[in-house]
Structure 1
Amino acid sequence: MALTQKGAARRRKRIEELERPAYGWIWKPLFTLLVLYLVVCVGLGIWWSRTPAPFDVEQAVVDQRGTAVQAPASRGAVTVAGLMTLVETLLEKPGGYLRNDIAPPGVWLDNMPAWELGVLAQARRLSVALPAMEQSDLPVLGDVQQRLAGDSGDWLYPSTEQRLQRALEGLDGYLKALGEGGEAAFGDGGQGVAAWLEALARSLDDLGLRLSASIGTRAELRDLDIDAEALPARTPWYRVDDVFFEARGQAWAMLHLLRAVQRDQADMLAEAGLAGRWEALVAELELSQRRLWSPMVLNGSGFGLFANHSLVLANHMIRARDLSRSLAGELAAAEQEADADRAAPVEPAPDAEPEAPAGETDAVETTETGSAGEADGEIPAYDQAEVADGAADAGEPTGSADGEGVAAAEPAAEAEAEAAPATGDSPEDEAAGGEAAVDEAAEDEAVGDGAAVEAPRE
């Protein structure tokens, strides 16, 4: 009996322990779930923090135009397609747009949101430059600029993702306007490219200064073209990686946009002799995208144990800045020269004397030749036969003074009559005019030669 009571007491005690957990066993599965959640978040954070792969700008045109790719497009289609692909990358990369996340794991990340800010900054800068590159004034470009210029951290309506999607819709409509028969097109002379390159140079200069501000001593900047007095305050250690990845994001976006503009303005760059320097600028930005093997951004110095990643990237930014400024200056000078040529007044060509028909020209030359010979008191050889024939028909000797005067005057009068332009008069008027011309020519010749002697009176 006693054994039975003891066994029942043990069973009741075990049941009470199960119903009232005195040892906290129920927290073990909760702790296990929490650990699994953290592991998943860390894995997603590592995956989402990977920089997207570069894309081909020519393939981007095919993807963005879709079925319309078979039809030719105007100048500027590659640039617009590249800008659209940049915005799509922000929305469609692993994790989507992370800068405005308010929940884990996105809220714990800082490298990729900083990279997104850099890409968005260059997308905004190109949207500002597009109206200057475009020949016509389309309102859609202003709408795209406004939608890209919103706060990058908005998560309430309208969120940043919604504004970026609307900007994509506007760019898609503009890309269709660049198609065959559309009303949009970039200028043939590279209008607006120089101003855009100058804006890139200012961005690169600012990035170089911010990256250089991460080091402690200014003496390490003596080998770089950086004004130590212009540096901002030293970057805190927990912000060094944010500045680094923002610079990488801007360089990544510049790299693709420069390639796109190069495709659209290839003829202009070749004519200006700037294709080589443009390639050098692209190559310098490609070097800034090399893989970072360290798990974190190091901020060492000199030839110490740890490298200084920010200073290495600043070196690339400064060299790219110099190349961008050089290209902007050359293109601005070429654009000003082209504008001056277009504005210069065109001098009219001197009026050429009208050419007379062949028959009239021969008649004038004949008249001039005959007049010159007559002024010397001689009859040209080609008129002597006519003089002889005229004298024979008149029944007078060819050697008389009156015969010579009249015979010499007739060929000149006939030549002048042939050289004179037709006035549309009747045949009778023309005959009267010819007789008057013969009489005047006879009188002039008699006076000029002095050879015509008055006949003696009988």
Structure 2
Amino acid sequence: MVRRAMWIRIAIGLVIFPILISYAFFIWNASWIRDYDIHYADKFNMTNTTVSAGDQVAVEGGTDTTRTCGRSFTVDAVKYLIDFNVNKNTWMSSHPLYKMGFFGVDWDHTWILDNKAAFQRGIHQAVGRTAIEISDRLGRVRGTSQIDPDLKDARGNVQFNQYTWYFNPFDSQPFGPTTPTPSYFRRTIDKLESYQARLMKCEATFDARADNLMQFLDRIANDIGSTSASLKTRAEDYNSGWFDTRADDIFMNAKGQLYAYYGILRAVRVDFSQVIETRGLNALWDQMEAQTLSAVMLEPSIISNGDEDGWLMPTHLTTIGFYILRVRSNLVELRSILDR
């Protein structure tokens, strides 16, 4: 009888122990964002460049095989952000325990362990938008030539579903076995590295023209404009203060999007340096970067969606939404100058 009870306890332990370890690992990954650095674009060494992306910087002996062209720092920013999302951190949205929820409740509808996933999705929204723009316009001559094969593959990989794991019993994704989301995103890095290598050998295109910059800024303005509208709707329709379980997700999603665009726009500034200098956009660009940085630096201890004049429970959604509108206003003004 004693031996039977012992075996029962062992069997229960063999079932419970892996579950406890899995949840401990999940909580450890979901609790904070690793390698977070607002000024990550400083790592791209952009101050030493003298030409716009794709422009020839050196010719040795006058032969095509020795040509060297400028790299695209916008591509570097996209690669860095994808690496940040899936290599420096665990991609939370496809994690099986995240998809399973908290006793059947979606993690996005709780107060805990969902902010990192929302932040990552915000980053990925900006990354996806930028990857599409590079593929469809910047990587083609006047947007009419054949699409670059590496950029085409990169665009397809970065647009893959964000919620797929090896096996998917908790949602509508194919049950499996299948390739998980992070693997597709890592392939995007490989394809962008291949494109960058060819670009630096003058074998690929980065069309840094004024109309392309204008179009890109317009896309970003529309993207963050949609985010601003979501913040406004939530702030107006709900005033639950600290008890709004969705406020933190919406706030962190917006913060992640701005975190990504802050570095991307700094890289774009270097890639389109000749256009920006010629059109006299530097002062306005400085202002736009400063507004974006101010928004990213918002770090409330507890995210609240209260009344606009609330003291105990303020409205952080309205606050970050205000900064987003200022950034968007700068982007629209930059676009207008380029359109003249």
TM-score (norm 2): 0.73
Name the counterpart of 1:68: none
Name the counterpart of 1:273: 280
Larger gyration radius, structure 1 or structure 2: 1
Q: In 2, Cα distance between the equivalents of 1:322 and 1:205?
A: 10
Q: Which amino acid aligns with 1:98?
A: M
Q: In 2, Cα distance between the equivalents of 1:199 and 1:153?
A: 25
Deviation digits for residues 203-232 of structure 1, max 9, x if unmatched? 1211111111222469x9xxxxxxxxxxxx
Q: In 2, Cα distance between the equivalents of 1:146 and 1:252?
A: 23
Name the counterpart of 2:85: 90
Q: Which amino acid aligns with 1:168?
A: I
Q: In 1, Cα distance between the equivalents of 2:23 and 2:131?
A: 40
Name which of structure 1's ranges 205-214 and 49-58 shifts more when overlaid on structure 2: 49-58
- How high is the sequence identity, in percent, across the aligned residues? 20
Q: Which amino acid aligns with 1:270?
A: E
Q: CA deviation at 1:287?
A: 0.8
Asked if 1 retains the 8 angstrom alpha-carbon contact of 2:160 and 2:181, the reply is yes
Q: CA deviation at 1:19?
A: 5.9
Name the counterpart of 1:81: 76
Listed as ranges, the gaps of 5+ residues in structure 2 are 47-56, 59-67, 102-106, 108-112, 167-177
Give the total of aligned pairs.
288
Higher relative contact order (CA 8 A, sep 6+): 2
Name the counterpart of 2:209: 189
Q: CA deviation at 1:88?
A: 1.0
Q: CA deviation at 1:44?
A: 4.2
Name the counterpart of 1:54: 38
2:335 to 328, 332, 341: 328
- Relative distance call for 1:26 and 1:57 in structure 2 (3 A) is closer
* RMSD after superposition: 3.4
1:307 match: secondary structure: coil
1:238 match: secondary structure: coil
TM-score (norm 1): 0.56
Deviation digits for residues 2-50 of structure 1, max 9, x if unmatched? xxxxxxxxxxxxxx8x6687xx9999999x9688886665444323x46
Asked if 2 retains the 8 angstrom alpha-carbon contact of 1:98 and 1:106, the reply is no
Name the counterpart of 1:178: 199
Q: Which amino acid aligns with 1:167?
A: T
Name the counterpart of 2:61: none
Deviation digits for residues 68-124 of structure 1, max 9, x if unmatched? xxx965345211111111111111123x21110103699653211111111111111
Name the counterpart of 2:96: 102
Q: How does 1:224-243 map to 2 (within 5 A)?
A: 237-243=244-250
Q: How does 1:11-410 map to 2 (within 5 A)?
A: 42-47=27-32, 49=33, 52-57=36-41, 59-60=43-44, 74-75=69-70, 77-94=72-89, 96-103=90-97, 109-130=113-134, 131-136=136-141, 137=145, 138-156=148-166, 157-180=178-201, 182-216=202-236, 237-294=244-301, 296-301=302-307, 302-333=309-340
Listed as ranges, the gaps of 5+ residues in structure 1 are 1-15, 63-70, 221-235, 334-458
Asked if 1 retains the 8 angstrom alpha-carbon contact of 2:38 and 2:296, the reply is no
- Relative distance call for 1:151 and 1:265 in structure 2 (3 A) is same
Q: In 2, Cα distance between the equivalents of 1:45 and 1:191?
A: 41
